[in-house]
Structure 1
Amino acid sequence: MGAFVFSRRSSFAWLTDGGESSVDEASVIGAADLILTPQRAFVVAPNNEMDRLLEEVLGDQGYEPLTYSWREDRIPVIEKLLQGRAAGSDTLLPGCSELYGDVKTLRYSLLPGEQARLRFLGKETARIVGEVCRQIRPGDSEIKIAAAIKGSLADEGIAAPVILVAADGRIARYRHPVPTNKEVERLVMIVVCARRWGLTVALTRMVHFGPVPQDLRERFNLVNNISAQLINATTPGRPVKEIFSLAVNAYTGAGYPGEWEKHHQGGPIGYDTRDYLASLDCPTLVHEGQAFAWNPSLPGVKAEDTILALATGPEIITTSEAWPTRVLTQGKTNIIIHEMLILQGHKS
């Protein structure tokens, strides 16, 4: 192959050590394309973006600028540069083979610098979400809680492509609860995917006001046991479908056979919110240094943290010293579980 065109924001961040090509947060395609040939590297961007990208994002990384007017279409510029040579792309482009699936596999194993950035992001996200959770009060709406999380993350330069909030009965009713005006009475669940430097972490936290009913506590313990089994099983070289099969059996063992079919169980995470969703027929293996976020759920409860799959064992990176935790032992591995945060008082 004579060249490759990278247009996605995720690819741009991966190739530029965490650079951001976005102007429109709603688009997966950035404001610039990176084109690599065996001999040269180009950045293709309109004239109203190029100076900023060169000065504030790319610096001395060695990309040759190829600028066009903001009034023009970038496709003819790319086609002229490729000059008919065989080319691949991470999106659909005329004359290119779409190979985004192959691109993703190249970044499954995170390099030490990427792992360090992901650890920092995980710790900061867990800290910030925890701080906001402690400020929740009965009567707060789901939308208000989501806005507080989004704003607090933004203050630290962290974007939030996913924020889900559910109060009380909506938790059991919907597995993807987009925030509404419903007010919290006793129970709230917060789900966050947070992104910085192109990398993403995910976590779920639950808050309860006053004593926790026994049936809710039992379901929460069960879902955390399933989560611990999944985390412990995520070791380099292990087939992902084998881990998923373990999840299916864990649901049955918990007394909820078939519950796994009501929502996906997560999978590898990194430069996308999920690189793919794990399944019983998933053909891939866990890679050394790959990030995963499993998210098992039962009626009204969910568990989710981001981990790194390392040769030394799974490392949970979305922990917070200020959040109540306990340790579940799986074989020879101690898995940190985030408990439900219990606050005093509830809406009468």
Structure 2
Amino acid sequence: MTRKEELRIKLDRVRTLMSSLEFDGVFLKRQDDFSWLSCGGQNYIGWGDMGLCGLLVTQDKTYAVTNVIEEPRMREEEQLEELGFKIHAGAWQDTGFEARTLKSLVPSGRIAFDYTHDLGPNIEGEIKKLRLSLTKSEIERMRKVGIMATLALEEAAVSVRPGDTEIEAIKRIANALYDQDMMSTSLMCAADDRLMKYRHAIATPTKIKERFQIGGNMRKWGLTVCLTRYVNFVPVTDELRKQYRLNQLIDTTMMVNTVVGRAYHEPLKAAQKLYDEHGYGDEFLKHHLGGPIGYANRDYRVDFNLPGTIQENQGFCWNPSITGTKSEDTILVRKDGFEFITRPIVFPKNEVVVDGKTFIRSDILEKF
């Protein structure tokens, strides 16, 4: 599938939504939506919500609206003109250029946005739904991102030694990512006592002694994957190994229950049942368990009130945890099951059995 073929699929989705909501134009400027519609492009120089170039879709035309600073790169590197977007670029100091241009291009004034704007309603929630089911090309790209991210994280984790700091550990991942023209949207590392105290442990100058957890969200072409791994410099105790196996059983059970057409909360219910059966009911309440992933770290954090159903070719990253352990890898939901987007490559492997089927998951890496 070419980039233009992928774009046609996405424009059809946007225009169908426009017709159903009776709009004559939709303007997308968020970083995630720009990457999605431009088929892997980037409209920002620093990661966040909003970008510096927006894409306007009408029923028969497409435009890019930006400033003279961004215009050359949007044309030459993002190749927006080749994709069919006519570029309108204003002076950097002309703060009214964007609004005037949108009014002239959509004279009816019936225009919607993926962010809050004076000219029309914010329909980001509806736009996000258009992104959830990945195209063939996006699936191919996401598979590549999964391999590159896994190698960057696992090879960095393998290189860590006692006495290295948490910051040094994630710096090695960041370097490996930049070597592949990738970026992180979050990287976390926690060692020893901090691992037991904090679910979201940002990296600090703390020196690693006996064990550490390392993980995060990594992105290329706008597509994000997530994974977490563990390293021990002392023998893994039977208690820790048993807990980690249970954590992986919960995670893999959620994956198995992530089935096309089911409600988002069905995997959550399956996880809660296992937490309760094994005497960890209180742990279920201490951290969210993740959800869909694609052009954002999580499109939604799934809870029991989240509406909607699981789609074919939708990415997911569940992250159930028990104090001191977490299981986390990215999967892609397929018509007849799911496939792992991230999986152990350098790390040791272990088997997890759910409903009579065996799944390969990463084990704790022991180095002593």
TM range (shorter): over 0.9
Give the drift of 1:333.
Answer: 3.4
Considering only aligned residues, what root-mean-square deviation do their CA atoms show, in Å? 1.2
Partner residue, 1:325: 349
Question: Is the Cα–Cα contact under 8 Å of residues 8 and 30 in structure 1 kept in the other structure?
Answer: yes
Partner residue, 1:69: 91
Give the drift of 1:84.
Answer: 4.4
Question: Is the Cα–Cα contact under 8 Å of residues 255 and 267 in structure 2 kept in the other structure?
Answer: no
1:305 to 318, 323, 329: 329
Could you say if the C-alpha distance between residues 168 and 98 of structure 1 is closer, same or farther in structure 2, counting changes exceeding 3 Å? same
Structure 2 letter corresponding to 1:44: V
Give the drift of 1:254.
Answer: 2.3
1:19 to 41, 58, 72: 41
Structure 2 letter corresponding to 1:145: A
Give the drift of 1:271.
Answer: 0.5
Q: Secondary structure of 1:48's match?
A: coil
Partner residue, 2:27: 5
1:134 matched to 2:155? The reply is no
Partner residue, 1:267: 291
Partner residue, 1:176: 200
Give the drift of 1:106.
Answer: 0.8
Partner residue, 1:102: 126
Write out per-residue CA displacement over residues 154-176 of structure 1, whole angstroms, 9 at most, x where no aligned residue: 11011101001000111121100
Question: Is the Cα–Cα contact under 8 Å of residues 233 and 366 in structure 2 kept in the other structure?
Answer: yes
Q: Secondary structure of 2:292's match?
A: strand
Structure 2 letter corresponding to 1:196: K
Write out per-residue CA displacement over residues 280-312 of structure 1, whole angstroms, 9 at most, x where no aligned residue: 122111100000000010011111000001112
Structure 1 letter corresponding to 2:34: F
Could you say if the C-alpha distance between residues 40 and 165 of structure 1 is closer, same or farther in structure 2, counting changes exceeding 3 Å? same
Structure 1 letter corresponding to 2:201: P
Structure 2 Cα separation of the partners of residues 279 and 305 of structure 1: 19
Question: Is the Cα–Cα contact under 8 Å of residues 232 and 333 in structure 1 kept in the other structure?
Answer: no
Structure 2 letter corresponding to 1:118: M
Partner residue, 1:192: 216
Partner residue, 1:53: 74
Write out per-residue CA displacement over residues 67-117 of structure 1, whole angstroms, 9 at most, x where no aligned residue: 100111133333343334211110011121101010111111111110111
Structure 1's unaligned 5+ residue stretches are: none
Write out per-residue CA displacement over residues 24-57 of structure 1, whole angstroms, 9 at most, x where no aligned residue: 22x3111101001111100011011101111110
Give the drift of 1:321.
Answer: 2.8
Structure 2 Cα separation of the partners of residues 271 and 333 of structure 1: 30
1:86 matched to 2:114? The reply is no
Structure 1 Cα separation of the partners of residues 356 and 294 of structure 2: 27
Could you say if the C-alpha distance between residues 19 and 92 of structure 1 is closer, same or farther in structure 2, counting changes exceeding 3 Å? same
Question: Is the Cα–Cα contact under 8 Å of residues 211 and 234 in structure 2 kept in the other structure?
Answer: no
1:151 matched to 2:175? The reply is yes
Partner residue, 1:231: 255
1:250 matched to 2:274? The reply is yes
Partner residue, 1:161: 185
Partner residue, 1:122: 146
Structure 1 Cα separation of the partners of residues 296 and 216 of structure 2: 14
Question: Is the Cα–Cα contact under 8 Å of residues 68 and 77 in structure 1 kept in the other structure?
Answer: no
Structure 1 letter corresponding to 2:46: D
1:204 to 228, 240, 243: 228
Write out per-residue CA displacement over residues 117-146 of structure 1, whole angstroms, 9 at most, x where no aligned residue: 111100111111111111000011111111
Structure 2's unaligned 5+ residue stretches are: 1-22
Partner residue, 1:335: 359
Give the drift of 1:332.
Answer: 4.7
Give the drift of 1:209.
Answer: 0.7
Partner residue, 2:16: none
Structure 2 Cα separation of the partners of residues 181 and 321 of structure 1: 28
Could you say if the C-alpha distance between residues 313 and 332 of structure 1 is closer, same or farther in structure 2, counting changes exceeding 3 Å? farther
1:38 matched to 2:62? The reply is no
Structure 2 Cα separation of the partners of residues 104 and 291 of structure 1: 13
Structure 2 Cα separation of the partners of residues 323 and 138 of structure 1: 18
Structure 1 Cα separation of the partners of residues 125 and 348 of structure 2: 39
Question: Is the Cα–Cα contact under 8 Å of residues 258 and 266 in structure 2 kept in the other structure?
Answer: no
Q: Percent identity?
A: 31
Give the drift of 1:193.
Answer: 0.2
